[in-house]
Structure 1
Amino acid sequence: MSQLPQDFLSVLNARSQDIFRRIVERYLDTGAPVGSRDLSRMLQGGLSPASVRNVMADLEDLGLIAAPHTSAGRAPTQEGLRFFVDAMLEVGAVNESERSQIAQSIQGQKGQVEDVLTEASQLLSGLSHGAGVVIATKADMVLRHLEFVRLDSTRAMAILVGQDGQVENRIMETPPGLTASALTQAGNFIAHHVVGRTLAEARKVLAAQRAEQRAELDELTQKLVDAGIATLSQSSPSSAPTVIVRGRANLLNDTMASDELLRMRQLFDELESKDGLLELLGDADKAQGVRIFIGSENKLFSLSGSSVILSPYKDANDKVVGVLGVIGPTRLNYARIVPVVDYTAHVITAMMARKH
């Protein structure tokens, strides 16, 4: 991608900015390129088509616009759209009707968190006429019960039961010569400190307690407690992100070329297979507010040539636990959708705090 100057606005005079803005806004509105004659009629100053063509040639040399296929008109390039979004986009506010619709739809959900997120995805799809997407991290299991069961002379099974009823079994190596009483003692020690805590909290507490109570634990039990801490540190088999996509049909229609349909379907397949999602969530954890990816700027969405508007949402501890947003063509109505996505993320964050 070509690098546009940081102070690009200072490179374009008022006339060039006006013409560029009109080309982009026409493209975002209709998806069609615009020619110099149409632009001349749209401009207030009575600029001739020849003069407009000169400005368009300069914009094309800068990589901001290009002629799609054999069209005589010009449309913004990916770089041009990026510059427009970063430097010239005037983002409006969410109108009162949409604010009310978003708040009522999400706050009206009385079920599990996933029901709330599904409603948010459906809502964003309807408001944007694109696909609504939510990518959520799996909540860390809060332990209700833990016990060890001996399998043979060198292995035991740790049975973890969450407060939500989720059960996980993890195989762990046991030290040679382990007695039944040592297994019971280690199990009781660990269970006493982990019940009611998340796995992450349990690991920290156990490590601290083991150091403090080293004298009270015999050598075999210490080794087993160490093995238990290692077992709790294993990735959960259900730790892959949850992906909720609604409104796919908005992006798949009979007028698309076959290669466009194929690329869009591949995007949905990649979303379902979770490829690249943890990296996207990691990016969201570092980001502040709404992020916009245009075309090839994010490898997950680059193949489909889509634009994606995403905003992180947080839990009661102010930790980013997911992202939500809209997938659509590059000519999305950014000015309208950006604040809608941002407001929806704030409503979800507020609801997550209440559900805690």
Structure 2
Amino acid sequence: MKLYRCTRIEGQARLTLCEEPDPPAPGPHQVLMNVNASSLNFRELLFMSGAFGDRLPPNFIPVSDGAGTVITVGSGVRRVKPGDRVVATFHENWTGGAMPRHADMLGRGAVVEGMLRDMALLDEEDLVSIPEHLSDEEAATLPCAAVTAWNALCQHAPLVPGQTVVVQGTGGVSIFALQLAKLFGARVIATSSSDAKLARLAALGADAVVNYRATPQWADAVREHTGGEGADLVVEVGGAATFEQSAAAARKGGRISVVGMLTGTPAPGDGFFMRGLSIAPIHVGSREHFEAMNRAIGLHRLKPVIDSTYAFADVPGALGHLESQRHFGKIVIRHG
């Protein structure tokens, strides 16, 4: 089978397209699947840059997200059968409840082998059925970004119709958070530095948009759009550089779901606790979270926003596009 490996030597990463033997036949409770599509997340760039140091093996298969078709199953498998369309969970061995102690926080595509390969041998408990209206390319966008967005909205407290949610930028998590928040009946305020992208966010359902380059104190604009109250929930993807504005944009008693730390670890500022704000760190989610989200996606026939699709041979080009930050939505790899 064909696959990519990322080799890290003295802090330098090299992505190589390899040919290796096919996986063995499935053992008890194992499933062999064709991986027909995968999608990229910003974490891939972090892993390949060496940001996580010795926590990653020196020669790993990257990319957490992959969808495809079951080829064959081992003895005792009950959840899927050959021919079923499935997508792998982000975390290995996290079915539901609190994250198990033995679960790898980094997810697939690091210590646990990733999905940038033709075939994958997985435990049946780590697979989720694809909503019928989605293609494999669309389903491949779900495991990391969509599940993260779902849990950012409702894992630590229910999102109630009529509440206000702030989303930041036009990456995968933020766009999924916008789409899913609208399913909950929430009001969404979206930020971006591009007026063209803000227009696309409005077309997706954003009730108000703010250009944070033109309005650096964008929390003031959020308060204007909420009658001075502030947002019930801010989905924080930027980290230290944006957290102060996120906290200022939240209402008294509001919450901030911290998803990304692109600019470092955020720290609560003055008045954070006095205003009764809460921080909820999000670590993607379990298979049960994934399945709950898929029920909502299937019911409302939600379609992921795909920016572009690359051939398997052009993964370096796809990663370059991701690094440029010009994308709007998800970048997908079509296998085969």
Category of TM-score, reference length = shorter chain: under 0.3
TM-score when normalising by structure 1: 0.22
- TM-score with structure 2 length normalisation? 0.23
Structure with higher Rg: it is 1
Higher strand share: 2
Which has more helix, going by share of residues?
Answer: 1
